[in-house]
A and B are shown apart, each in its own frame.
Chain A
Amino acid sequence: MNSIWTIANQEIKDGFKNRWIIVLTLVVVVFSLSLTLLGSAPSGRVDASSLIITVISLSSLTIFLLPIMGLMLSYEALGSDIEKGNMILLASYPITRGQIVIGKFLGHIIILAFSITIGYLTAGITSSYSSNSINYENSLIFVSMIISSIILGGTFLSIGYLISSFIKDKSMAGGIAIAIWLFFVLIYDITLLGTIVSFEGIFNSYTFNVLLLLNPTDVYRFLNLASFENVANYSGTLGIITSININIWVLFLIQLIWMIIPLFLAILSFKNKEI
């Protein structure tokens, strides 16, 4: 555990020294605040709490922004160290390959969690302060969104590590990362909808919902836009998913599985890699 934390700590320090942790946080803050302050303007006054509107806006932002952030942090995390020759030295120390991957992942997810928490809290506090709409239930929904956002970022970090464990070449790894982002964020849902329309009657809404769980961004949508009645009433999208009732803890569990499996595969692949 000590070795894992040493590696993680190094990644965090590295993030601060390179200042990209600050850049990352600023990006999240700017996007979140923009959505919170400007996003509700076209909709005018609604009955919903402004914190709930913020949850809906931030969830939509998260689905696009965090996967790409996670992938960009990790797609060359192992490959570039092997290429530069840093990894051979690191691996010569009394530390297993698994500890190296977990340590780096831990450092990166802490960085991501830091940026998400600061950014989303800024948006949440601003929105609650301006409308004075804070209550226990809404706060819980907001905290749940922050946690699931961190896990979503972590999922794409893991996928990035998996890419990095297979591919040394930086540009190829970058290309694959973008393709994966496009697939999960855009192509998967469009393809699924197209398939349902084309084969009407074959796929029912239950099958559709189950297929959505095979996409981590859709699991996130389930969790934040459909699981809480307060939010689902106003989110408008994904009304279809209310036809199945999945417990929120099960959704968190599916999210965690989505984060752990690619990381586990990355460790396996990295263990057998000749450095």
Chain B
Amino acid sequence: MSVLEFNNVTKFYDKKMALNNISLNVDIGNIIALVGHNGAGKTTLIKLLLGLIYPTKGHLKVLGLNIANPSNKNIKKKIGFLPETVTFKNNMSGIEVLNFFSRLKNTDQFNNMKLLEKVGLAEVSKQNIKTYSKGMIQRLGLAQALLGTPRILLLDEPTNGLDPILRLQFYDILSDLRERGVTILISSHALSEIENKVDKIIIINKGKIITNRSLSYLRQNTNIPIYLRFKIKKQVSNSIVTKLANYQYKLINKRTIEFKCFPKEKINIIKTAFKIGLEVDDLEIESTSMSTLYKYYIDERKVI
């Protein structure tokens, strides 16, 4: 079931086109990465989903309803949002901030302390926000986004200011939410960080969606070579070298062979390695990183 639907959506700011005929469906319980250069249209897309701006052409639906219609404002109860630069009034405490937003969403304030515990702010819940670090404010932002068990989470650069441990905890929270059927859209520049945490990647460039596929699909269907490194038990013999004459490989050292191939050839090479009698001690696969894929799609402007 689609929870987010864009149908031929175009958005102009005065005469400047921000989104160009976008069509997109996001299924329930997916984590989607939205990546693109600054000004590519990511924030415009999120603002449209929140009903903060309206499409110039086309229409979009959130949970099956038109969010731009003020009478559908209650859909927003089902959406959690963390803006790129989250700020709160300095003279409020963490718990006061959550209670304020909780009243706007009409959620049970009893759970707010639990939310603060979840993001590691329980001990400072009564301190003024002016004493908070950037990371703490970001965590408070995440806590407010989680108010009222949202069905959709829109997160704009959510791990800004978080240390590596907190980032891991953050992604644990997200996987937990996904298991409960929450659909999560993350706009991020931290490509390596989201690499193995998302189900699909939407690459957006100059207002157009370049691709909207899973990482494994993108890896399989791009002509970017990958590397397979076999560490073998014995030194590479001359007979092995003869058998590998048809393959692109190099000897890293006497006991390590590196193959260069396209992702689709990967399985064949592994089969061959065993077939020719390589006694494999270890196998390392260097897949195409998300940064490389991103660069590939942006440079090629391929639409898949």
Chain A interfacial positions (CB closer than 8 Å to B): 2-3, 6, 10, 14, 17-18, 84-86, 88-96, 274-275
For the complex formed, measure the closest distance between the CB of A88 and the CB atoms of chain B, giving whole angstroms: 5
B229-273 Cβ-contact flags toward A at 8 Å (1 or 0): 000000000000000000000000000000000000000000000
Q: Is the CB of B76 within 8 A of A92?
A: yes
Known contacts A6-B100, A274-B13: A92-B79 contact under CB 8 Å: yes
Residues on the A chain within 8 Å of B47, using CB:
88, 274-275
| B residues 137-164 touching A (CB-CB < 8 Å) | 141, 144
Residues on the A chain within 8 Å of B120, using CB:
none
Q: Is the CB of A10 within 8 A of B91?
A: no
Known contacts A6-B100, A93-B104: A88-B52 contact under CB 8 Å: yes
Which of A3, A85, A86, A275 is in CB contact (< 8 Å) with B52? A275
**Looking at the complex, which of B19-27, B81-89, B171-179, B296-304 is the stretch in contact with chain A?**
B81-89
For the complex formed, measure the closest distance between the CB of B142 and the CB atoms of chain A, giving whole angstroms: 12
Instruction: List 8 A-B pairs, minimum CB-CB distance, nearest first.
Output: A94-B76, A92-B81, A17-B91, A93-B104, A6-B103, A85-B85, A92-B50, A94-B73
Which of B53, B86, B104 is in CB contact (< 8 Å) with A274? B53
Residues on the A chain within 8 Å of B85, using CB:
85
B111 beta carbon closer than 8 Å to chain A: no
Residues on the A chain within 8 Å of B83, using CB:
85, 88-89, 92
For the complex formed, measure the closest distance between the CB of B2 and the CB atoms of chain A, giving whole angstroms: 21
Q: Is the CB of A274 within 8 A of B100?
A: no
B206 beta carbon closer than 8 Å to chain A: no
Residues on the A chain within 8 Å of B88, using CB:
86
Which of A93, A96, A275 is in CB contact (< 8 Å) with B105? A93
Q: Is the CB of B100 within 8 A of A91?
A: no
Chain B interfacial positions (CB closer than 8 Å to A): 13, 47, 50, 52-53, 70, 73-77, 79, 81, 83-89, 91-92, 100-101, 103-106, 141, 144
Which of B77, B87, B100, B144 is in CB contact (< 8 Å) with A94? B77
For the complex formed, measure the closest distance between the CB of B239 and the CB atoms of chain A, giving whole angstroms: 66
Known contacts A85-B83, A94-B73, A94-B77: A14-B91 contact under CB 8 Å: yes
| Chain B: CB-nearest residue to A18 | B91
Known contacts A86-B88, A88-B83: A95-B13 contact under CB 8 Å: no
- Bound form: Cα–Cα A10–B89 in Å: 10
For the complex formed, measure the closest distance between the CB of A84 and the CB atoms of chain B, giving whole angstroms: 5
For the complex formed, measure the closest distance between the CB of B78 and the CB atoms of chain A, giving whole angstroms: 9
Q: Is the CB of A85 within 8 A of B105?
A: no
Residues on the B chain within 8 Å of A91, using CB:
50, 52
Q: Is the CB of B104 within 8 A of A85?
A: no
- Bound form: Cα–Cα A272–B103 in Å: 25
Residues on the B chain within 8 Å of A3, using CB:
103-104
- Bound form: Cα–Cα A22–B74 in Å: 37
For the complex formed, measure the closest distance between the CB of A10 and the CB atoms of chain B, giving whole angstroms: 6
Residues on the A chain within 8 Å of B79, using CB:
92
Q: Is the CB of B89 within 8 A of A86?
A: yes
For the complex formed, measure the closest distance between the CB of B46 and the CB atoms of chain A, giving whole angstroms: 9
- Bound form: Cα–Cα A274–B103 in Å: 25
Q: Is the CB of A95 within 8 A of B103?
A: no
| Chain B: CB-nearest residue to A92 | B81
| Chain A: CB-nearest residue to B71 | A96
| Chain A: CB-nearest residue to B102 | A6
For the complex formed, measure the closest distance between the CB of B137 and the CB atoms of chain A, giving whole angstroms: 11
- Bound form: Cα–Cα A85–B141 in Å: 12
Q: Is the CB of A93 within 8 A of B91?
A: no
| Chain B: CB-nearest residue to A96 | B70
- Bound form: Cα–Cα A18–B89 in Å: 11
Residues on the B chain within 8 Å of A14, using CB:
89, 91
Residues on the A chain within 8 Å of B106, using CB:
2, 94
For the complex formed, measure the closest distance between the CB of B85 and the CB atoms of chain A, giving whole angstroms: 5
- Bound form: Cα–Cα A41–B273 in Å: 108
Which of A17, A84, A95 is in CB contact (< 8 Å) with B104? A95
For the complex formed, measure the closest distance between the CB of B260 and the CB atoms of chain A, giving whole angstroms: 47
